[in-house]
Amino acid sequence: MSQLADRRKAEQIDAVAEAINLRLDSGRAVVVEQFARRFYAHVPPDDIASASMEQLYGAVLSAWQLYQHRPPGKAKVRVYNPRIETHGWKAARTVVETINDDMPFLVDSVTAELNRLGLTVHLVVHPVMEATRDADGDLTDGDPIEAGDAAPPESVLRESVMHIQISPISDPAMLTRTVAALERVLTDVRAAVNDWPTMRQRLREALADAAAARQAAPEDEVAEAEAFLSWMEDDHFTFLGYREYAFAPTGGEELTLTDGSGLGVLRDDSVTVFDGLRHFAALPPDVQAFMRAPRLLMVTKGNRESTVHRPVALDVVLVKRFDDQGRVAGERLFAGLFTSAAYNRSPRQIPFLRRKVAAVLAQAGFDPRSHDGKGLLHILETYPRDELFQVGAEELFDIAMGVVHLQERQRLALFIRRDPFERFASCLVYVPRDRYDTALRLRFQHILEDALQGRLQAFYTQVADGALARLHFIIATEPGHCPPVDVAALEAELAAG
């Protein structure tokens, strides 16, 4: 079957090449045929076989025409519905075309944005070409080279060419909106990639500054923070944005954004990623005191979903800055995404997490070979990793022990952790596995939203071999308007639901 599909693909591409040579003048046909063969080289055979020759010809000619000119250092985006009378070819789907400097995260960022807009991606064609352009962005060699053909001179650009077919868009305003959204995403990708080295340098500066923290924080805490920052730099964190905040030198209560400190997706000072710092004076007094305390490191979630790489809430790592006297002078904010190792590796192998896990195990005092000891360790190893980064050791102990005591009981249990900045509440609901279904999850969601006066931001479900299923709800809340909750009463309401 594979050989048959490969042969059919080759026949289709040969037919496209024949059409190019019949319909274009000889000088241009040679170049366009080479472009077409490279354009379709890595497309799955089934996708080629399911399209007509006219569609394949029209798509590659359209991409070639767009490829002729691109302003230096900018992405080119087109979204349209192919029609014979206006574009020379016809397709039942809307087509997205982009030309950009080749860089990481392009395909996943673009497809994630299309999905965020409610559009279904049906086909992605993504060759990487190499060509030379003049100062205005016009092709100068007329013959793009497939990446990897030969070692190119420094003047040759590596360029990403994308042709994506999506669910049809009939509304012209939506076509315009889609172009603007993709241009914004590609701008974010470029900013993050270009500023990556500088953001890593800022992390090294934070490590160098840690010496000042030793005047205010315990040595073991500082050492663990240093180990965690080093671990982040060792390809465990995808740096997407950075900025700095400073307290007034006189010790005032205002925490202000340092002008010009933004990098990556945070180059623009108006882009918010963590409202708790921007509106520091409006935070409750206990939260302000928490930020003033000599705690070197904090990991939390941003208010903004990443437009680069993965469409999830940005991970935010806050590193305190200290003056020469060991007083808190401000914050460094690193925004990005933890890599897969942060989620797949045992927390006992990750700095910052290992300290929390060790503290909980020590406080519990279980024999590690006992039933409870093994159970507690399993709970910590499988605890929602984002939660493990954010929760304090004492709160983690209380929740983990509650789950330990729940293991032998077939009953529902609720554990709530509130974000220190009152932006959300993290709700873990354990329910007998045989009770769980989608309808039950939706009922739980509505009960929690009503009780917390918020809205669902995300949910995660774990249904393993044990007697209990675990539902994790993130309920977005409004700072200053988070009502007190009677957890026992709310738990009873969920059990009745």
Mean pLDDT of the region 459-479:
92
Mean pLDDT of the region 291-299:
80
Does the pLDDT value for residue 352 go beyond 70?
yes
Residue in 114, 116, 63 with CA at minimum distance from that of residue 91: 63
Summarised one tens digit per residue, pLDDT across range 296-311 is 889 999 989 999 999 9
3-state secondary structure of 14: helix
Summarised one tens digit per residue, pLDDT across range 13-39 is 999 999 999 999 988 999 999 999 999
136 vs 121: CA distance, rounded Å:
33
296 vs 3: CA distance, rounded Å:
60
268 vs 284: CA distance, rounded Å:
27
Q: Is 481 exposed, middle or buried (0-12, 13-18, 19+ CB in 10 A)?
A: exposed
Does the pLDDT value for residue 337 go beyond 80?
yes
3-class DSSP string for 71-87? CCCCCEEEEECCCHHHH
464 vs 470: CA distance, rounded Å:
9
- Written as one string, the DSSP assignment of 254-306 is -EEE-TT--EETT-STT--S-HHHHTGGGS-HHHHHHHHS---EEEEEEEEE-
Position 247 scores a pLDDT of: 84
Mean pLDDT of the region 37-61:
95
Mean pLDDT of the region 72-95:
94
186 vs 195: CA distance, rounded Å:
14
Buried residues in 142-160 as b, exposed as e (16+ CB within 10 A): eebbbbeeeeeeeebbebb
Residues 6+ apart with CB under 8 A from 267: 191, 195
Residues 6+ apart with CB under 8 A from 13: 36, 37, 40, 48, 56
Determine contact, residues 441/471, Cβ cutoff 8 Å.
yes
What average pLDDT does the chain have?
91
Does the pLDDT value for residue 458 go beyond 80?
yes
Summarised one tens digit per residue, pLDDT across range 243-276 is 999 987 655 567 888 999 999 999 999 998 876 6
457 vs 304: CA distance, rounded Å:
11
Nearest 5 degrees, angle CA 50-CA 56-CA 59? 125
49 vs 10: CA distance, rounded Å:
10
Q: What are phi and psi of 455, to 5 degrees?
A: -135, 150
In what helix (H) or strand (E) does residue 428 lie, and over which residues does it extend?
strand 424-432
Position 469 scores a pLDDT of: 94
Does the pLDDT value for residue 497 go beyond 80?
no
Does the pLDDT value for residue 468 go beyond 60?
yes
Token couple for 326: 């060991």
Token couple for 108: 């996943």
Does the pLDDT value for residue 137 go beyond 90?
yes
Model pTM score: 0.91
Half-sphere exposure in the Cβ direction for 52 (13 Å, CA): 7
Residue 323: band (very low, low, confident or very high) from pLDDT cuts 50, 70, 90 = confident
More confident of the two residues 141 and 225:
225
Does the pLDDT value for residue 370 go beyond 90?
yes
> What are the Cα distances from residue 396, in Å, to 26, 356, 382, 422, 442?
71, 8, 13, 18, 26
- The DSSP bridge pattern shows strands 297-305 and 128-131 to be unpaired
Half-sphere exposure in the Cβ direction for 376 (13 Å, CA): 25
Winning range, highest mean pLDDT, from 210-219, 292-301, 326-335, 441-450: 441-450
Single-letter amino acid, residue 160: S
